[in-house]
Every structure is written in C-alpha cells, then in structure tokens.
C-alpha cells in the first residue's frame, strides 16, 4: 500500500504486501488507523497510518472482502460473494476486539450466483444504519446493523448499475458506476430509506474508476484499469474532479 501526496502525486510505501491483497481501505479519523479489506485472503487488517505497523489482523470465513466503512462504534466490511457483512466492534475508548463478527444479510437481500453482490458501503446520514451497494442488480440497500435485515433504497425507479465504491458526504451519496465510468450523486433521506438520483458526472480520464474519496472541494476517483493487463510498469492514477 502507498501513501500519495495529492499535490504532487508522489507516493511512498506505507505497508509491505503482507496477508494478500488490499481492496477496500478506510482511515479512522483521529486514531491513525487504516482498516483494510483483504479481498480473497479473507482477512481484515488494521495498519498504523504513521509507520505502516500492523496493529491487528482478523481472519473471517470470507469469499471476497471488498469495502470498508468506519462508524462511531464499529468497522464494517462487505463480502461480494457471500451474503454477509463483517463487523469489527470498537470499544468506547476505540480499543480493537479479539475477533470480528459475521452478520448475515437478510430481508430483501438476494445474492446473485457467480456475480459481484455486496460491494460499496457507507453509513446513513442519521448514523443509525448502513447503505450497501448491490453491484449486479444496480440497487442500494439500507441495512439494519443490529439484525442484518436489508431493504432496497427507494430511488424512484432509478438504478445505479455496476455500483462500486460509495462515499457519503452529509446527505449526498456518491456512487461510482465502474462499468459506465461515471459517478452518480444520490440525495438521501436522513434514515437512508429513499433517495433521489440528482446528477451523474463522467470524465474522459476515468479508466474503470472503482472508488472515490473526498478532500476539500474535490472528489478523487481511483482508476483500477481492469481492461489493461497489469505489468511492472503499468501506471495507475486518481482523477480529481469538482465535488458536485
């Protein structure tokens, strides 16, 4: 994993590639901790953002650990192959647990065989539930964190096909539609039960953008370049666009 200066694009290695791939990443504000979804390794890792030291590793019965969100009392990780989430409960002082907890998805959630299912994840604006993207169906789901019960977010008949990374800023949910090389903006109700698809943005520099982060008044979309065979000299970029 690399730390990259947004002004110059210069990066440095933060952590050696120990424990398999690093797919979803999320920094916990104020505690210098980076939570990593380890893809097919079935491992959630916690890394110190200052020196790359390993703080914890959690092995779960995972299919493909994809994305991460940090809430006030837990860290949540999606599994794109199995119909479940993984919860890393945090103590009142932020202490890390001995093990992660598996939370099966229920209610209206249906896994599509041989396809990507749960992908991006965010919290609702009121902080009481989770929003999970279902990539193959183009739907977003509101998930009760206590029970795992999922209900489709009412988008007024719209869909976000190929949804990948999710980023919530206030009541605005940014959804990366990786197959379409665009970012959709959904205005959510506070409880996340419904939303309005307000606008989409694309950019000629997107090359299978898969996730997005915000800094200041910009969004940074990460190009996965899935259609480009990776080599030791293949370049990867993040594209800055105005936050809309």
- When mean pLDDT is compared across 11-25, 93-107, 164-178, the lowest value belongs to 11-25
Q: What are phi and psi of 180, to 5 degrees?
A: -105, 0
In 3D space, the residue among 113, 171, 114, 111 whose CA is nearest the CA of residue 141 turns out to be: 111
Higher pLDDT, 166 or 17: 166
In this prediction, residue 69 carries a pLDDT of 98
Portion of the chain with pLDDT greater than 90, in percent: 86
In this prediction, residue 21 carries a pLDDT of 82
In this prediction, residue 4 carries a pLDDT of 72
* C-alpha span between 135 and 160 (Å, rounded): 8
Is the confidence at residue 11, as pLDDT, over 90? Answer: no
In this prediction, residue 73 carries a pLDDT of 96
The string of pLDDT tens digits covering residues 90-127 is 999 999 999 999 999 999 999 999 899 999 999 999 99
At residue 29 the predicted structure's pLDDT band, cuts being 50, 70 and 90, is confident
33: left (phi over 0), alpha (psi -120 to 50) or beta: beta
Residue 180, SS3 per DSSP: helix
* C-alpha span between 14 and 4 (Å, rounded): 10
Helix (H) or strand (E) holding 149: strand 149-152
* C-alpha span between 89 and 71 (Å, rounded): 10
């Amino acid at each position: 994993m690399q730390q990259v200066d947004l002004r110059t694009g210069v990066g440095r290695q933060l952590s050696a590639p120990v424990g398999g791939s690093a797919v979803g990443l999320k920094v916990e504000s104020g505690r210098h901790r980076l939570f990593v979804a380890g893809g097919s390794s079935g491992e959630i890792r916690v890394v110190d953002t200052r020196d790359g030291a390993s703080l914890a590793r959690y092995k779960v019965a995972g299919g493909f650990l994809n994305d991460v969100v940090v809430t006030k009392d837990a860290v949540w990780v999606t599994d794109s192959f199995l119909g479940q989430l993984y919860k890393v409960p945090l103590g009142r002082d932020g202490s890390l647990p001995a093990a992660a907890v598996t939370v099966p998805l229920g209610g209206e959630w249906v896994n599509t065989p041989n396809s990507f299912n749960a992908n991006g994840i965010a919290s609702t604006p009121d902080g009481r539930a989770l929003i999970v993207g279902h990539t193959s169906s183009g739907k977003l789901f509101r998930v009760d964190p206590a029970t795992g019960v999922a209900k489709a977010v009412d988008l007024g008949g719209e869909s976000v096909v190929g949804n990948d990374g999710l980023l919530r800023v206030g009541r605005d949910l940014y959804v990366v539609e990786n197959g379409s090389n665009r970012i959709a903006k959904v205005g959510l109700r506070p409880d996340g039960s419904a939303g309005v698809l307000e606008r989409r943005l694309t950019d000629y520099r997107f090359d299978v953008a898969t996730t997005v982060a915000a800094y200041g008044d910009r969004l940074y979309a990460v190009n996965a370049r899935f259609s480009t065979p990776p080599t030791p000299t293949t370049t990867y970029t993040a594209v800055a666009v105005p936050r809309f």
